[in-house]
Amino acid sequence: MTDTAIEAAGLGKRFGRGKWALRGCTFRLPTGRVCAVVGPNGAGKSTALTLAAGLLAPTEGRITVLGTDPASARPRVGHVAQGKPLYPRLTVAETLRVGADLNPGTWDAATAERVVAAGGLDPEARVRSLSGGQRTRVALALALGKRPELLLLDEPMADLDPLARRELMGTLMAQAAQYGTTIVMSSHVVAELEDSCDHLLLVGGGRVRLAGEIDDLLAAHTRVTAPADDADLLSSHTVVDSRATGRQLTALIRPTGPLPDTWRASAPSLEELVLGHLRNPEAPVPTPAAETGKAPA
């Protein structure tokens, strides 16, 4: 048994002869966590999840899923693609029967039916007549009914209203707690993930910008407001992002020592942390050693 859900080394994917969707990605996601894959549109989040699901082969590098290659791990992995593809002609009930047909022995019909019923969906409704949010619910029901060890969700909440979002997030968290399912979900809206995720993978421009336990990452960073004259002093710390506002500097830093009393320091929000790193692609990435020291081995 392994405590690593996904491990990537120098992972890269290029479509045709075009631009690299993902390149040089090295990261490790532990099992039993709810992990957020965050980044702007086109950052390579979907590509990373598709590679992990074994639906595409990487162009270079290596990816290991649940201790094996993605193709072999496929029966233990659930994947909900961004477009929520479903067979439009089938009814909701028939769609779930597809899940039962393709997963004999492991299909959890009760869970799948419960997820669909919670949305008040008519089992006889055709998938093509459903709204975006309803399709998301059916797609999630299919993925959860498979009872995967690892669930990969690409922008799962994008089409949902706040009420459904809260309810489905609750279902996912219950699943994670009950079966120890590792959940990896991508989003470009950070606020959507802040309450439910405990691990972060920040992707930008096809590369990993930041990775680690959210609590550790937040603890390692500080938002400071300092007089503009203290710019030299500021640079003795690791500066992720800084901007001058009048005679003051506001910066996101990783302190390397005690901060002067004249500076106003506060804990950054996850969103500030993410935006700070995305705005500054050249910002130094925390050394993996510093993170793994805190992560359970």
Least spacing, CB of residue 73 vs another protein, in Å: 9
Kindly state the number of chain residues that form the binding site for another protein, as judged by CB under 8 A: 46
11 Cβ neighbours under 8 A, 6+ residues apart = 22, 24, 25, 26, 48, 51, 58, 60, 61, 62, 63
* Contact in structure between 77 and 148 (CB atoms under 8 Å): yes
**Which pairing describes strands 222-227 and 150-154: parallel, antiparallel, or unpaired?**
unpaired
178 lines the binding site for another protein (CB under 8 A): yes
Least spacing, CB of residue 62 vs another protein, in Å: 10
- Residue 86 or 251 having the CB closest to another protein: 86
Interface residue with another protein among 81, 118, 164, 285 (CB under 8 A) is 81
Amino acid code (one letter) for 213 = E
Least spacing, CB of residue 144 vs another protein, in Å: 12
214 Cβ neighbours under 8 A, 6+ residues apart = 36, 197, 198, 199, 200, 270
The token pair at 111 is 């869970």
CA distance 296 to 198: 13
77 lines the binding site for another protein (CB under 8 A): yes
Least spacing, CB of residue 287 vs another protein, in Å: 31
CA distance 237 to 285: 13
DSSP state, residue 271: H
- Residue 24 or 61 having the CB closest to another protein: 61
Least spacing, CB of residue 51 vs another protein, in Å: 8
Least spacing, CB of residue 68 vs another protein, in Å: 8
One symbol per residue from 91 to 130: x for binding another protein (CB under 8 A), - otherwise; what is it? ---x--xxxxxxxxxxxxxxx-------------------
Interface residue with another protein among 22, 86, 203, 249 (CB under 8 A) is 86
71 lines the binding site for another protein (CB under 8 A): yes
The token pair at 278 is 């995305």
**Which pairing describes strands 150-154 and 77-80: parallel, antiparallel, or unpaired?**
parallel
Q: Looking only at residues 8 through 47 of this chain, which bind another protein when binding is defined by CB under 8 A?
A: none
Least spacing, CB of residue 175 vs another protein, in Å: 11
One symbol per residue from 193 to 232: x for binding another protein (CB under 8 A), - otherwise; what is it? ----------------------------------------
38 Cβ neighbours under 8 A, 6+ residues apart = 45, 186, 187, 188, 190, 193, 200, 201, 202, 203, 274
- Residue 70 or 212 having the CB closest to another protein: 70
- Residue 148 or 268 having the CB closest to another protein: 148
DSSP state, residue 39: -
* Contact in structure between 55 and 69 (CB atoms under 8 Å): no
- Residue 104 or 246 having the CB closest to another protein: 104
CA distance 242 to 220: 16
CA distance 137 to 131: 10
58 lines the binding site for another protein (CB under 8 A): yes
In the complex, the residues that contact another protein under the rule CB under 8 A are 50, 53-58, 69-72, 74-75, 77-79, 81, 83, 85-87, 89-90, 94, 97-111, 142-143, 146-147, 177-179
